[in-house]
Amino acid sequence: MMSSKFTRLSTTASSSLRGCLGSKTNIPSITTFSRGFASKSKKEDQNAGGKIKIEFKPFEVYRCDAPENFAYTDKAELLDFFTLMSRMRRMEVVSDQLYKQKLIRGFCHLYNGQEAVAAGMEAASLKTDPVITAYRDHGWMVARGASPAETLAELMMKATGCSRGKGGSMHMFHIPSFYGGHGIVGAQTPLGAGIAFALKYRGQKEVCWTYYGDGAANQGQLFEAYNMAKLWSLPCVFVCENNHYAMGTSTGRASADLNYFERAHFIPGIKVDGMNVLAVKKAGEFVADYVRSGKGPFVMEMDTYRYVGHSMSDPGTTYRTRDEVSAIRAERDPIEKVRHLLLQNNLATEEELKQIENAARKEMDDAMEFATKSPFPDDKEVFTHIYSKDVPTRSVETPTVVS
Amino acid sequence: MKKINNVNVIFNYNTIFMKKSILPPIQTQLSSTFSRSFHSSPTPHSPFKPSSISLSQNTTHNTNNATTKKDDEIPSGPTQKMNLFTAINNAMDIALKSDPKSVVCGEDVGFGGVFRCSVDLRSKHGAHRVFNTPLCEQGIIGFAIGMAAMGCTPIAEIQFADYIFPAFDQIVNEAAKYRYRAGGQFNVGGLTIRTPYGAVGHGGLYHSQSPEAYFCHTPGLKVVVPTSPIQAKGLLLASIRDPNPVLFFEPKWLYRSAVEEVPIEDYMIPLGKARIVREGEDITVVGWGAQMNVLAQACQRAEEKLGIKCELIDLRTLAPWDVETVENSVKKTGRLLISHEAPKTGGFAAEIASTIQERCFLHLESPIQRVCGYDTPFPLIFEKFYVPDHLKNYEAIKYSVEF
């Protein structure tokens, strides 16, 4: 019998929702999944010792020693990963459907295939570590502990969304430690360096995880951020989610140096198989230790892949073959990898995994219902949050009709 | 109602030259070539009330010559049905054919571009002339400036005008000032920067901006905004061949929806000259780009409902703008309305209003009206509320005439 992973959401997310909306809004009780990674949850149906050893591709490193290319894991941790990644995948599938129905508007960038990066890094980092990323952020919201309901509500531009409906798909934020959600490629990287500076300035133990893509890796401002981070020894980890295509341009046609983990030549780097959640976690823990001990910044490169196009406006087939996409999906899918590990090692049955997937489906269905029933923001919200206090906007001078 | 002397002069001009326009009157063109009305009726989930005007696609046009202006700038040879991106593609094809020193560069232009403006150019002219750049706007423009300084004709694309800001320094501090600071020894006149701008219905903060005002404020640059396929082809060829750096803002809303019979030959439309689209004697209405269709609807409504005859002017070039045409028109009508999507404060309408009041103060019968976007970031869910639609413009026309 599988230990229940369902807990009633009591503290963080619902109170933050209430904080956003005021006491009058009726928020349904949202059933979510506990974020109990291996070290905390109880174990059942164990092998002797309870742990299995999983080996993965050796890490490529630059200016540092490589961590060992294996990890010990157990049923509880693998089930947690499976659950989180299934929920992230389900979020993206639902977003895809809603976009095609024009219930989500704007530009929508899906994370299908890249789930292992967010899931593994979540396991490796502290919940209070700030995370900042670009626009492929729905999965990050789920990983950071936001509820699918508020994420979906934001996608559908409803007032109950995390950004009150004013940000949409590309501008998801979640107090206290998910700093978004950014549209301009690469612009979030100096922001990440600044967040790291503030952490160091305030003597906090947190590390700032700054994510960007292979396209952004050629932005000048990223190199400015690298320089400042190293110069002032900031606790900033620059993580390149290399999914090999910047919109429609492959890495080989955009970058003179494809070793993104070496690009900040004065900062140590590590390259990770981004489709293997255990490898991601191992590397993440290694880097977190390094940076948290005050040794300065680090660069990580996640070798990952997106099955979908750059955004919902891009079919994703004009610059790569369908065979390539299906091959990677068949051989390296992060969720299938974990499923395989669980089944091969008799840690779980097909039935248990099916239950988890069904629960994820149900969670998203509930979220969809919540989001559909939520109201759009009031028109006058177009004028709020421009300045910190209401500054009168002159442009609302529609001429009065002279009778 | 004022007696118009100039109109008679214009009629005589046409009679003298016995030129038969091969084009249907502009009004019918604008209304019938759009596959849907500019602000389509809302989806069931839209919070906004539908406009009380239903805009029929084939407005029976008043064939009174006083309301149309024949276009002598357009050649009368064989034409082909083209939409805006095809016309732009055609213009670039002609430019690449006629100027061996010209290249097209930008993000994803190789496979045709995200709006298909550069489709087939690579196969026709070679990968050494039509090539992708990495994702680095500052680099792209700086690089293009360098090429132009060597006498080449780079046609650099910025994928969305919202992304032009990393390149702002290069454009303003390098391109605009090159000739001046070198005392005429060097210049970057061969540079043309093309970028899609403006609202698209659901673009949100970073796919909808109209940044033309920032560049009009910089001496040394030319800023051109076409409104239709025929205009775009001629204006783009003129911009590419103009011996000054030119920013060419393409209204992305119209890429597919504006369709016209465009002459297939090589032709140019002069920069710095406005076009009187519709003649009238009661109020001068000035706009550019996609906003022209909105203004045409507003003028039509004003004529039908209130008998107000608007003189509609398409500015086409914003820097340097055709002061004389607007001034002559305002001296005739005594009233002025300017409309653009960009925020009102510091928008280009402010410049036009200020210049016209300097030159036409004693001719003005009512305050100059500016119907613009609000002073907010370009919103996502509030877009229909934010944009200066035909109803807001109609109200302003009415207010001005009844003042």
- The helix-helix angle for A277-292 and A115-124 (nearest 10°) equals 40
CA distances to A16, B47, B200, B374 from B384, in Å: 30, 10, 11, 12
Copy the structure tokens of residue B370. 């500016």
Tell me which residues of chain B, numbers 311 to 330, contact chain A at a CB-CB cutoff of 8 Å.
none
How confident is the model over A302-330, as pLDDT tens digits?
999 999 999 998 998 988 999 999 999 99
Q: Does B350 touch chain A (CB under 8 A)?
A: no
CA distances to B83, B228, B315 from B259, in Å: 4, 8, 20
Q: Rounded to two decimals, what is the model's pTM?
A: 0.82
Mutation for testing the A interface, residue in B46, B344, B380, B402 having most A CBs under 10 Å: B380
Q: What angle do CA B302, B306, B311 make, to 5 degrees?
A: 45
How confident is the model over A349-376, as pLDDT tens digits?
999 999 999 999 999 999 999 999 999 9
| B363 part of the active site | no
ipTM score of complex: 0.79
Q: Inspect the interface and report whether the beta carbons of A184 and B163 lie closer than 8 Å.
A: yes
Q: Can you tell me the distance from the alpha carbon of A154 to that of A168, in angstroms, rounded to the nearest whole number?
A: 5
Closest-CA residue of chain B to A102: B43
* pLDDT of A167 higher than 70: yes
- Between A and B, how many CB-CB pairs are < 8 A? 134
Closest-CA residue of chain A to B401: A402
Tell me which residues of chain A, numbers 223 to 252, contact chain B at a CB-CB cutoff of 8 Å.
246-249
Alpha helices in B18-99 (DSSP H): 26-32, 84-98
Indicate the SS3 state at residue A218.
Answer: helix
Q: Inspect the interface and report whether the beta carbons of A220 and B202 lie closer than 8 Å.
A: no
* pLDDT of B158 higher than 60: yes
Contact A275/A116 with Cβ under 8 angstroms? Answer: yes
Contact B365/B269 with Cβ under 8 angstroms? Answer: no
**Lowest mean pLDDT: which of A188-197, A204-213, B18-27?**
B18-27
Q: Can you tell me the distance from the alpha carbon of B220 to that of A101, in angstroms, rounded to the nearest whole number?
A: 47
- Give mean pLDDT, residues A1-24: 38
Which of A366, A385, A388, A379 lies closest to A32 in space, CA to CA? A366
Q: Inspect the interface and report whether the beta carbons of A394 and B375 lie closer than 8 Å.
A: yes
Indicate the SS3 state at residue A326.
Answer: helix
Contact A145/A361 with Cβ under 8 angstroms? Answer: no
Closest-CA residue of chain B to A103: B45
| B202 part of the active site | no
Q: Can you tell me the distance from the alpha carbon of B317 to that of B225, in angstroms, rounded to the nearest whole number?
A: 6
* pLDDT of A36 higher than 70: no
> Under 8 Å CB-to-CB from B117, ≥6 apart: which residues?
B85, B88, B89, B92, B109, B157, B194, B250, B255
> Under 8 Å CB-to-CB from A152, ≥6 apart: which residues?
A91, A94, A95, A98, A161, A364, A367, A368, A370, A371
pLDDT over 70, % of chain A: 84
- pLDDT for A392 equals 66
Quickly state the pLDDT bin for A209 (edges 50, 70, 90). very high
- pLDDT for A370 equals 96
Tell me which residues of chain B, numbers 144 to 173, contact chain A at a CB-CB cutoff of 8 Å.
159, 162-163, 165-166
Give B-chain residues touching A255 at CB under 8 angstroms: 134
- pLDDT for B2 equals 36
Give A-chain residues touching B45 at CB under 8 angstroms: 102-103
Distance from CA of A316 to the nearest CA of B (A): 12
- pLDDT for A318 equals 87
Q: Inspect the interface and report whether the beta carbons of A247 and B114 lie closer than 8 Å.
A: yes
Contact A265/A305 with Cβ under 8 angstroms? Answer: no
Out of B137, B157, B174, B212, which one is annotated catalytic? Answer: B137
Q: Got the DSSP string for B232-244?
A: HHHHHHHHHHSSS
- Give mean pLDDT, residues A31-52: 45
Rounded mean pLDDT of chain A?
86
Indicate the SS3 state at residue A208.
Answer: strand
Mutation for testing the A interface, residue in B48, B107, B133, B136 having most A CBs under 10 Å: B136
Which neighbouring-strand residues pair with A140?
none
Residue in this structure with the two tokens 């004697």, named with its chain if needed: B281
Tell me which residues of chain A, numbers 163 to 182, contact chain B at a CB-CB cutoff of 8 Å.
165-168, 170-171
Q: Return the number of other C-beta atoms located less than 10 Å from residue A186's C-beta.
A: 24
Residue in this structure with the two tokens 């869910």, named with its chain if needed: B381
Q: Inspect the interface and report whether the beta carbons of A254 and B376 lie closer than 8 Å.
A: no
Tell me which residues of chain B, numbers 191 to 220, contact chain A at a CB-CB cutoff of 8 Å.
201-207
Quickly state the pLDDT bin for B71 (edges 50, 70, 90). low
- Give mean pLDDT, residues A80-107: 95
How confident is the model over B91-110, as pLDDT tens digits?
999 999 999 999 999 999 99
Contact A242/A218 with Cβ under 8 angstroms? Answer: no
Q: Can you tell me the distance from the alpha carbon of A128 to that of B87, in angstroms, rounded to the nearest whole number?
A: 53
Which neighbouring-strand residues pair with B249?
B195
- pLDDT for A384 equals 85
Which of B343, B380, B385, B371 lies closest to B211 in space, CA to CA? B343
